[in-house]
A and B are shown apart, each in its own frame.
Chain A
């Protein structure tokens, strides 16, 4: 894996070397510019965090990058080209609240595998392995919806990883979990990262950021306030927004 740390000030973004990139991305809704000329580069194999105050546009940005929402203008590039369906299928996302199918834990995993065309004995084997890794083997036949929050999120994560995506998006995966569950989720994410999966994660938690981040993109009012290696941005924030955030202050500015 190439070391692709670069000086990512908003003006200069090297998009050619990144797995996923956005150029001048805009998203307008209800007369407001919710994402305003955002350019980012997600380096492959690294853990990139997206941070910012509430309403800064973090969830929106993730959804735009993943293709769940159409951008008003701007470009999204996957390995330098426009992403097609096949490219999108190599991405996966875990949402803040896990979306469980009304079936058993095992059936949820089987579903994901079936969608990717894996069947029969191979499907059973992969599902069993994923259950094991997520520590859910005992709950295989339970209806997914009766699991605890932590267990459900582990299942959502296992389901997202089971088809070996190249890039995993996570939208505040542990914000509603207790420390023990949070730990287990972080371990699973790090394990995936260890296998080469690119991670893009939104988090509110400074501690988690320090544990789980390589790069960070700091958003404010729909724009990139600052970005770069995590120690640099959180340790020596240059932008007013990032500075206020690390100091626990509220920072607002008037934007349209």
Chain B
């Protein structure tokens, strides 16, 4: 159908002819996803650390559930959030439907299990190493959690990036709760879906390439931050 070079040429043209519309879409995508990842980390990091570092009845069940929730279908989450935020739903009066806030909520629900489950694994592995030392020092629960989270910070950066990847790439949830409204809730993935449905496949693919480039940049920035932190430790 189209050649790889056609698509790359179209992607390059997109970037060179960068207009306000494109800015709007890209900025909204990043705003929604980064906020969702931040919120997911605020919830998921301590949650994962608690499950990873402590024994309690039902721990195995919690682990299984968290791991399973990593596979939540975005469109199902979108549907659920829509029903909650709908004018006929319990949170209707908040008037959050078809706003970026609704999209952030949906993506947070998607990403939190990923952050929690992966954090739990990272912390569990680390905790095995530190358990006796921590017990010897008589650490309280919150001291253990903060110590483990900080010590695992490099692995946790990767966990956050995994969450970011999941959120920036999904379309099912944000489409339903955002409504893909022009200039209001249209993000990169919903634009790609829209252009595809209009048959503008080359444009859709070019936007896809752009999305990948942006995701790459975000990853690169995080890795650079990490490298500079490691270097500073030797100063």
Contact = CB atoms under 8 A, between A and B. Distances in A.
Interface stretch (A13-21, A27-35, A99-107): A99-107
Interface stretch (A87-95, A126-134, A200-208, A235-243): A87-95
Given A112-B137, A141-B234, A102 B132 contact: no
Contacts of B235: 141
Contacts of A166: none
A145 to B, nearest CB: 10
B139 interface: yes
Sort chain A's interface into a size bin: 20 to 34
B233 interface: yes
A250 interface: no
A173 B88 CA distance: 68
A99 B147 contact: no
A85 B135 CA distance: 11
Interface residues of B, number: 17
Interface string B68-90: 00000000000000000000000
A88 to B, nearest CB: 5
A124 B207 CA distance: 53
Contacts, number: 40
A1 interface: no
Contacts of A111: 147
Contacts of B5: none
A63 B152 CA distance: 27
Contacts of A85: 138
Nearest to B153: A102
Given A141-B234, A143-B233, A143-B234, A68 B151 contact: no
Given A95-B132, A141-B234, A143-B234, A102 B151 contact: yes
Interface of A is mostly: mixed
A154 interface: no
Interface in A53-98: 63, 66-68, 85, 88-89, 91-93, 95
B144 to A, nearest CB: 10
Contacts of A91: 136
Query: Chain B: interface secondary structure?
Result: helix
Contacts of B133: 95, 99
A99 B234 contact: no
B134 to A, nearest CB: 9
B233 A89 contact: no
Contacts of A104: 233
B143 A103 contact: no
A142 B138 contact: no
A147 to B, nearest CB: 13
A121 interface: no
A117 to B, nearest CB: 11
Contact of A115 (B130, B132, B137, B233): B137
Interface in B87-145: 129-130, 132-133, 135-139, 143
Contacts of A95: 132-133
Nearest to B129: A99
A89 B138 contact: yes
A201 to B, nearest CB: 15
B137, B233, B234 — which one has the most chain A CB atoms within 10 A of its CB?
A: B137
A66 B135 CA distance: 10
Nearest to B230: A143
B138 A88 contact: yes
For the complex of A and B, 9 pairs with smallest distance between CB atoms: A99-B133, A93-B136, A102-B151, A89-B138, A68-B135, A143-B233, A88-B138, A101-B151, A115-B137
18 contacts: A63-B132, A66-B136, A67-B135, A68-B136, A85-B138, A89-B138, A92-B136, A99-B129, A101-B147, A101-B151, A102-B152, A103-B150, A103-B151, A112-B137, A115-B137, A115-B143, A141-B233, A141-B234
